[in-house]
C-alpha cells in the first residue's frame, strides 16, 4: 500500500499545480471518516433576464455529485488520507471520488486505476493524457469530464485557449503532427472502435509513438469512454471550482 500512497501524493501534487485554489467552495466535508455534503445556496433556474454581470457571484453548482442516492461508506484510512490531501491541496475533493465513495473497494480500485493511468510513468506527457481525456469527452459530450479535464489541459499547458479548443473541436487547435495523430486516433477509437485497424496503429508509429505509447493512448481513450458513461448515467456534476481554474 506504501506505493499506492506515494502515487496518490504525486497525483494530488500534480493536480494541485502551482496555483491551488485556496478557499474555493467546499461541497463536501469529512466528519468521522464520512463525507458530509456542505450546504450551498440554491442555483436559480435561468429566468431569461440578464443578471448584471457585476453582482454575479460564481455560484457553486448546488446539485449533489450524482443523481443516484447512494449512502457514503466509511472511508478507509487510506481513502480518508487521500481525501484530506485533495482538500488540502486542491481545496476540494473531486466529485468523481465522492461518487465512488459509497463503496471502498470500488473507490480504491478506481483511484489506483486512475493514478496509474494518468500520473504514472508513460511516454506520453501528463498534458497529452489530459488532451486525450478532453478530446474523447468532447466526442461523448460529457459535462463532468470536459469540465474537470478541460481545466487540467489549461493548467498543464499554461495555454487556456488550448483547453477551450479541445473541448469544442480539437481540429481547430494548432497541434504538432504527433499530437494531431494522437487525437485523431483517440476520436476514431471513440466514435467507431470497430473500424480501427493496423493502418491506424501504423499512423501512430510514423508519428513517433512506440508500442507502449500506443497502449497508453488506447488505455486513456478506453478509460474516458468508461468514465464518460458512468458520468452520463449518473448525472455526475463537476465541482464548480473547475470552471474558473487557469483561465
What CA–CA distance (Å, rounded) separates 10 from 15?
Answer: 8
To a second copy, the closest distance from the beta carbon of 92 in angstroms equals: 15
CB-wise, 29 or 243, nearer to a second copy? 243
Task: Count Cβ neighbours within 10 Å for each residue of 102-126 and write b for 16 or more, e otherwise.
Answer: beeeebbebbeebbebbbeebebeb
**Which residue in the set 15, 96, 98, 146 belongs to the binding site for a second copy (CB under 8 A)?**
146
Q: Note the Cα 1 to chain centre separation in Å.
A: 24
CB-wise, 29 or 58, nearer to a second copy? 58
Asked if residue 46 binds a second copy (CB under 8 A), the reply is yes
Tell me the number of residues near a second copy by CB under 8 A.
102
What CA–CA distance (Å, rounded) separates 21 from 241?
Answer: 8
Q: What is the sign, positive or negative, of the torsion defined by CA atoms of 4, 238, 129, 16?
A: negative
Question: What is the grid cell recorded at 151?
Answer: 481545466
**Which residue in the set 18, 22, 31, 39 belongs to the binding site for a second copy (CB under 8 A)?**
18
CB-wise, 82 or 185, nearer to a second copy? 185
To a second copy, the closest distance from the beta carbon of 93 in angstroms equals: 19
To a second copy, the closest distance from the beta carbon of 95 in angstroms equals: 13
To a second copy, the closest distance from the beta carbon of 145 in angstroms equals: 9
Binding to a second copy (CB under 8 A): which residues in 155-214?
155-162, 164-165, 167-169, 171-176, 179, 185, 189-190, 193-198, 200-201, 211-212, 214
Taking the CB of residue 30, how many other CB atoms lie within 10 A of it?
19
Asked if residue 147 binds a second copy (CB under 8 A), the reply is yes
To a second copy, the closest distance from the beta carbon of 9 in angstroms equals: 16
Q: Report CA-CA distances (Å) from 90 to 21, 50, 108.
A: 6, 32, 19
CB-wise, 84 or 126, nearer to a second copy? 126
Kindly write out the interface string for residues 218-247 of this chain, putting x where it contacts a second copy by CB under 8 A and - elsewhere.
xx-xxx-xxxxxx-xxxx----x--xx-xx
35 DSSP β-pair partners? 30
Asked if residue 67 binds a second copy (CB under 8 A), the reply is yes
| Torsion of the alpha carbons at 66, 106, 92 and 73, rounded to the nearest 10 | 80
Q: Supply the DSSP string of 111-156, one letter for each residue.
A: HHHHHHHHHSS-SS-HHHHHHHHHHHHHHTT-HHHHHHHHHHHHHH
Asked if residue 22 binds a second copy (CB under 8 A), the reply is no
Binding to a second copy (CB under 8 A): which residues in 95-124?
102, 105-106, 109-110, 112-113, 116, 120
CB-wise, 31 or 247, nearer to a second copy? 247
What CA–CA distance (Å, rounded) separates 34 from 31?
Answer: 5
Question: What is the grid cell recorded at 73?
Answer: 461508506
Amino acid at each position: 500500500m506504501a506505493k499506492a500512497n506515494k502515487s496518490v501524493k504525486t497525483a494530488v501534487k500534480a493536480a494541485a499545480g502551482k496555483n491551488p485554489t485556496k478557499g474555493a467552495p467546499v461541497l463536501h466535508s469529512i466528519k468521522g471518516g464520512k463525507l458530509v455534503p456542505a450546504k450551498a445556496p440554491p442555483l436559480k433556474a435561468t429566468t431569461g433576464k440578464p443578471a448584471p454581470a457585476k453582482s454575479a457571484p460564481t455560484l457553486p453548482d448546488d446539485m449533489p455529485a450524482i443523481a443516484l442516492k447512494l449512502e457514503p461508506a466509511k472511508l478507509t484510512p487510506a481513502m480518508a488520507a487521500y481525501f484530506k490531501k485533495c482538500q488540502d491541496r486542491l481545496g476540494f475533493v473531486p466529485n468523481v471520488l465522492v461518487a465512488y465513495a459509497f463503496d471502498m473497494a470500488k473507490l480504491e480500485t478506481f483511484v489506483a486505476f486512475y493514478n496509474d493511468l494518468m500520473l504514472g510513468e508513460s511516454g506520453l506527457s501528463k498534458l497529452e493524457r489530459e488532451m486525450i481525456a478532453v478530446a474523447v469527452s468532447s466526442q461523448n459530450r460529457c459535462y463532468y469530464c470536459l469540465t474537470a479535464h478541460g481545466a487540467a489541459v489549461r493548467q498543464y499547458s499554461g495555454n487556456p485557449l488550448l483547453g477551450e479548443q479541445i473541448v469544442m473541436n480539437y481540429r481547430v487547435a494548432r497541434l504538432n503532427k504527433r499530437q494531431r495523430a494522437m487525437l485523431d486516433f483517440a476520436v476514431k477509437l471513440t466514435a467507431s472502435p470497430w473500424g480501427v485497424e493496423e493502418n491506424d496503429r501504423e499512423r501512430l508509429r510514423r508519428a513517433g509513438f512506440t508500442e507502449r505509447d500506443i497502449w497508453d493512448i488506447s488505455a486513456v481513450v478506453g478509460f474516458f469512454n468508461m468514465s464518460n458513461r458512468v458520468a452520463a448515467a449518473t448525472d455526475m456534476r463537476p465541482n464548480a471550482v473547475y470552471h474558473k481554474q487557469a483561465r
